[in-house]
Structure 1
């Protein structure tokens, strides 16, 4: 007896960034799967799927934003419920991977929390993980299942290529992002520079920009990074670039975490435009920034989900630049 193949795509959203999940579903021509989410009086999370998922190829989209621990746990419980309901394959889609900055030990007796998060998704029952612009690529190796590393590089370069006006330098906010800056420069025909900085080991989110390495005087500068959290790094870099004679300064970052006091810092910094994506919901106070541009990552996520569902190449979407 033979049964015809009946692959079924189902997309579910956690509570952190439903508009993004709805956009992805719309692009793919499907509806978000039915799921009931609630919280008990003591703070425990309850999940119930309102339709059958048996034999389905399921994708759970959840951005790890504030309150980050709640949203990670909610996604884990959603995955566990799918596994127990006999879903055929479960892919955890993490537009922003929580704890990604804790990818190594900086001092003795510290955890490697990024690996712990990966292990939690495996324990919950995820067969595959997809995330956008990880803080470090090594996180892909923290789990023993396929891990698709997506990038917003082409989304940003397509936007920037139509706005360049004169000699341009792509600036890495530290030495660790020079490779990324070089990729942007290759697409935009620009030079590369980086900021030498010192970060305090004892205080979180405190950065001192020390010197610029590269040609920035009389040039339009674009600072590229994976995220803007409290904006200490990019605003310190912007101030230094202005002192070194940059004509204009823009900031590009995939993830707009924008924790306080980011908005105030960006308001007062010599930055002409801040460009982010919607991997994370934009905080309400960030809308006060008149120079904030938000690009949608939805089409990229939709393309990747479609490729995974069809067992096609994901790296081909990014022309091999998603490593």
Structure 2
């Protein structure tokens, strides 16, 4: 069997350490730094010849630098005669809170949002020359030499179609259920709440797994409508991603207005950009549980309401099964 090598980018070395610990292996030694002109410099110090290489890199924080570092890492491994280069990508898409963050119905990436912000356009008519960066990013990773991509809770599952290589989009449903069971004492009497119509499927799966009631919030221009009864009940908001945190904060105010006794949120990817943490701190939210798919140490220091749960075991199992040629279908089980 081919040897296994784990390489960590600079975006989240702690996650790579946890994955290596679960797998009982050590990280490949690499040097990651920048030249004086800020150009990325990478040196792979251990041999990866004829190995299956897994690169751990998130798309959070300094997105452009992390992405370029990832592409160079993939290419360096290919040039070093790695058998396969498989990228573990934890989150690739920014949150979409505003319906105007869409172009012809297609969710925009952070690159596209920035471009549109710099264009003179009105909300009556979109300018159609904005870059379709999702496909471009997929092409860059493929050309760099990536053979396989493993992701977690893509904000839009359709993004898998941008890639010409296999993509395994893992689900966090079982991790979310475990987090709820371990941290919310009377979860059996709680109500799972989807903060918008787009998250209904995800929240209903969690509700069915836990065997508890389900409610949802229907967002309209004039007012948000709660479908379900939450009076004198503990509510658990479920979402895949919190960036500006508009969605969960607005939902928490509505739930409080409808008589919820306590309000939790369980989020897969916690980006918390801008003043998101301050708004969470001032909101009716009691606790926000978020995975460590993105580094959360600073967020937890800035907002005591933020608590963390781990995803390393899920990725470690995906790597183990992939490396051994076993099926990963059980990791997509939604039942």
Q: TM-score, normalised by structure 2?
A: 0.86
Q: Does 1:298 align with 2:320?
A: no
Q: TM-score, normalised by structure 1?
A: 0.89
Gap regions ≥5 residues in structure 2: 97-101, 109-125
State the Cα distance separating 1:10 from its structure 2 match.
Answer: 0.1
The one of 254, 273, 291 aligned to 1:277: 291
State the Cα distance separating 1:245 from its structure 2 match.
Answer: 1.1
Gap regions ≥5 residues in structure 1: 1-5, 200-207
2:230·2:255 contact (CA, 8 Å) conserved in 1? yes
What corresponds to 2:118 in structure 1? none
Distance 2:247 2:79 in 1: 44
Secondary structure of the structure 1 residue equivalent to 2:106: coil
The one of 241, 246, 251 aligned to 2:265: 251
What corresponds to 1:104 in structure 2? 106
Q: Does 1:176 align with 2:198?
A: yes
Further displaced range: 165-174 or 83-92? 165-174
Counterparts in 2 of 1:194 and 1:111: CA distance versus 1, 3 Å: farther
RMSD: 2.1
What corresponds to 1:123 in structure 2? 143
Counterparts in 2 of 1:100 and 1:137: CA distance versus 1, 3 Å: farther
Distance 2:285 2:107 in 1: 33
Distance 1:60 1:134 in 2: 18
What corresponds to 1:212 in structure 2? 226
Q: Does 1:186 align with 2:186?
A: no
Moved over 3 A (4+): 98-103, 105-108
What is the count of residue pairs matched by the alignment? 308
Q: Where in structure 2 are the equivalents of 1:72-87 lying within 5 Å? A: 72-87=67-82
Q: Does 1:132 align with 2:152?
A: yes
Structure 1, residues 124-151: CA drift from partner, whole Å, max 9, x if none?
Answer: 1100000111101111222121111112
1:255·1:277 contact (CA, 8 Å) conserved in 2? yes
1:209·1:236 contact (CA, 8 Å) conserved in 2? no
State the Cα distance separating 1:40 from its structure 2 match.
Answer: 1.4
What corresponds to 2:50 in structure 1? 55
State the Cα distance separating 1:116 from its structure 2 match.
Answer: 2.5
State the Cα distance separating 1:164 from its structure 2 match.
Answer: 4.6
Secondary structure of the structure 1 residue equivalent to 2:244: coil
Distance 2:37 2:259 in 1: 56
Distance 1:115 1:214 in 2: 39
Structure 1, residues 172-215: CA drift from partner, whole Å, max 9, x if none?
Answer: 1111110001001001112222222258xxxxxxxx86221222
Counterparts in 2 of 1:46 and 1:172: CA distance versus 1, 3 Å: same
State the Cα distance separating 1:265 from its structure 2 match.
Answer: 0.8
The one of 252, 257, 270 aligned to 1:238: 252
Secondary structure of the structure 2 residue equivalent to 1:52: coil
Secondary structure of the structure 2 residue equivalent to 1:134: coil
Q: Does 1:321 align with 2:334?
A: yes
The one of 82, 85, 88 aligned to 1:90: 85
State the Cα distance separating 1:218 from its structure 2 match.
Answer: 2.5
Counterparts in 2 of 1:321 and 1:141: CA distance versus 1, 3 Å: farther
What corresponds to 2:117 in structure 1? none
Counterparts in 2 of 1:305 and 1:143: CA distance versus 1, 3 Å: same
2:93·2:154 contact (CA, 8 Å) conserved in 1? no
Distance 1:113 1:124 in 2: 16
